[in-house]
Structure 1
Amino acid sequence: MSPAVFGHGHLRLYLLHVLDERPMHGYEIIQALSDRFGGTYVPSAGTIYPRLAKLEAEGLVTKQTDGRKTVYAITEAGRVELNDRRDELEGIENGIGDSVRRLADEVRSSVSEAMSTLRAELAAAAREARDDGRASAASAREAATQAAGAATAAAREAGAAASEAVRDATTSMHSTISETRSDGRAQLQRAEVLLAEFRQDLRTELRTAVARGSLDSSTVDELESRLSRLRADIVSRLL
């Protein structure tokens, strides 16, 4: 969805606008953008970090390490560009309102389609339960005509109970799947941010080492070995 949300160069300007409020680390920037779109648009780490790196290279933002986090802040040069493009920024803000409405409509459409599918599944399950109930009643009538009335009532009650059980089980299943996927997406996004920050910071350190002439093959061999062990450990936890 990201290409349709911001026009060419607009995300770059909007990042300056977000950082003009206060310095933020990568995940906070992503959350700030998500909040402005009411959660209908969440940019990926792969979208945000390359643009932050370009803004840093142009001297429009700075970054510094705060513990395990990399914090980005707008520079005076960044504020000058932001102020020079205020009219363009207002147009972006208006466009965001249109994008939020469009994305919300898409979400509502998806939810409506999912609800229609769920209702169809529940109706089919209810019909199957009633058919099973009628079959049980028919067998009971053939076996004992005198117990036909009682068997029919029992079958209908069983059909209603089965329908309710299917409905409850389906609702619970969809709720559990939704919660699991939502948490999984949040954790994936967090992992992507951590990996992007690690790559960005380590790449800077390696380039500095090259400039000093202190990067040798043993260091890279050690990096390869540790990353291989870390990957194996993480993969084993995921299985």
Structure 2
Amino acid sequence: MSPAVFSHGDLRLYLLSLLAESPQHGYGIIQSLTDRTGGTYTPSAGTIYPRLAKLEEDGLVTKTVDGRTTIYAITEAGRAELAARENDLAGIEAGLTDSVRLIATEVRQSVQDAMKSLRADLAAAEKDDRTAAKSRPRTASDDSRLLSREEMHRADAIINAFRARVRTDLRTHVAKGGSLPASVVTDLESALDEAARGVTVALSSPGH
């Protein structure tokens, strides 16, 4: 999603909708916009803060300064404007959903392209090995090296596909308004750490 998707009025309304969910500080608002657009739109502070100031000037939000943090909250007048423009907000949300769906499609295409590239690299490597083999006898070491190269390409493809799938699932879920508990991310981190340790142990075992 490009910044142009949000016109001045659309961004103003969407900011109100974010604050209607809960009071937030400026960075939290920027992060929410990033998450809900699948990471394709990260507004600058120079874009967000002037609009928040205008919303405050219009009486639609209030701000509370707590130390170095400024928290913004929607007012009753802000909720009234949000309710009056409910249809407009629905249109904006639909646009965000379409954008995230497009991101998912592009990610899948990227993975497919990466797989094609890996297969091409593997074919080229095999051709080089065949050419080299013509000038000298083929050994068990050659076979092992070729097999390892093939498995390295396969491992790369698996890792890239996993990353793309999980990243897309997470961003799509959050963009649709779903919650992402810290426990889910912690479990993901633990599973990946365990998998990495398993690979390390397997590679260091006798015979590898």
Range into which the TM-score falls when normalised by the shorter chain: 0.5 to 0.7
What residue in structure 2 maps to residue 26 of structure 1? Answer: 26
- Match of 1:9, SS state, is helix
How do residues 10-49 of structure 1 correspond to structure 2 at under 5 angstroms?
A: 10-34=10-34, 36-37=36-37, 41-49=41-49
* Corresponding residue to 2:79 among 78, 82, 99: 82
- For residues 15 and 73 of structure 2, what CA distance do their matches in structure 1 show? 10
Structure 1: distance between partners of 2:84 and 2:58: 22
TM-score of the two chains, using structure 1 as the length reference: 0.54
TM-score by length of 2: 0.61
Does the aligned pair in 2 maintain the 1:19–1:74 contact within 8 Å?
Answer: yes
The match for 2:69 is 69
1:163 to 142, 145, 150: 150
User: Any conservation in 2 of the 1:64–1:72 contact (CA below 8 Å)?
Assistant: yes
CA 1:109–1:137: 2 relative to 1, 3 Å = same
Aligned ranges 1:135-146 → 2 under 5 Å: 135-141=131-137
Contiguous gaps of at least 5 residues in structure 1: 142-150, 179-239
State the match for 2:56 in structure 1.
56
Q: After superposition, give the CA deviation of every residue in 1:61-98 in whole Å (9 maximum; x if it has no partner).
A: 232321221112234xxx2253155242x213322332
For the residue of structure 1 that corresponds to 2:93, the secondary structure is helix
Higher RCO (C-alpha under 8 Å, 6+ residues apart): 2
**Greater percentage in helix:** 1
Task: For 1:113-152, list aligned pairs within 5 A.
Answer: 113-141=109-137, 151=138
- 1:154 Cα deviation from its structure 2 partner: 5.5
Task: Provide the secondary structure at the position in 2 that maps to 1:72.
Answer: strand
In structure 1, C-alpha distance between the alignment counterparts of 2:123 and 2:93, rounded to whole Å: 45
Within a 5 Å distance, the mapping from 1:92-103 to structure 2 comes to 92-103=88-99
Identity of aligned residues (%): 42
C-alpha change, 1:94 and 1:84, in structure 2 (3 Å) is closer
The one-letter code sitting in structure 2 at the alignment partner of 1:163 is E
d(CA) in 2 for partners of 1:22, 1:82:
12
Q: 1:68 to 1:12 in 2, by over 3 A?
A: same
Partner of 1:107: 103
Q: What whole-Å deviation, never above 9, does each CA across 1:200-233 have from its counterpart, x for those lacking one?
A: xxxxxxxxxxxxxxxxxxxxxxxxxxxxxxxxxx
Distance 1:36 1:114 in 2: 21
Bigger drift between 14-23 and 101-110 goes to 14-23
1:140 is paired with a residue of what secondary structure?
coil
Instruction: Name the SS for the 1:73 alignment partner.
Output: strand
After TM superposition, list the pairs within 5 Å mapping 1:168-207 onto structure 2: 168=155
Read off the aligned partner of 1:61 and give its amino acid letter: V
Code of the aligned partner of 2:132: S
Q: CA deviation at 1:170?
A: 7.3
* 8 Å contact kept, 1:134–1:152: no
